[in-house]
Amino acid sequence: MLAFRSMEDIPKARLPTHLVSPVTKLMRGIYAAHGAGYQPDDDGYVILVTPTDTDKSLAERLGTRWNESCFEGVSYDKASRLYHAVILRNNQFTLSILVPDEPWLDQAIRTRMLHEMEDEERTECINTQGGGAQP
């Protein structure tokens, strides 16, 4: 997984073109919410799931197994083919987790994303995937 704690982390990651905009948008939102006093360890940051990530490897960053994590919400962006999961640790700290909807994605992770989505959005996402995994 890749962690983005500052805008400077984005070009360093050498992301595929289609991922730069979503990561940048989330980081700008974090900066806007916290202003000049933004501290990633106190306020949160963005995580991008990568092909080598599994439930177990994500647990190291999240503090709990993926399937046991408490998500505040999950959405899906058809244009970028990304799930966006949010974990709130307290009133201040937020992890924004971007999960690419790619063939390499661990099926347990995809199933959990679909399970967490609102019914209408889940149906739309499954239809977009051509009848992909259902929770």
Q: In which band, very low, low, confident or very high, does the pLDDT at 134 lie, cut at 50, 70 and 90?
A: very low
**Eight-class DSSP state of 1:** -
* Helix ranges (DSSP H) in the chain: 9-13, 17-34, 40-43, 55-62, 107-116, 119-128
Q: Is the confidence at residue 85, as pLDDT, over 80? A: yes
With a CB cutoff of 8 Å and minimum separation 6, the contacts of 35 are none
Task: Let me know if residue 122 belongs to a domain.
Answer: yes
Domains in the chain: how many in total? 1
Q: What is the pLDDT of residue 123?
A: 55
Domain extent for 69: 2-128
Task: Let me know if residue 116 belongs to a domain.
Answer: yes
Task: Let me know if residue 134 belongs to a domain.
Answer: no
Q: Is the confidence at residue 131, as pLDDT, over 50? A: no
The mean per-residue pLDDT over the stretch 73-84 comes to: 91
Task: Let me know if residue 135 belongs to a domain.
Answer: no
Query: Whole-prediction pTM value?
Result: 0.84
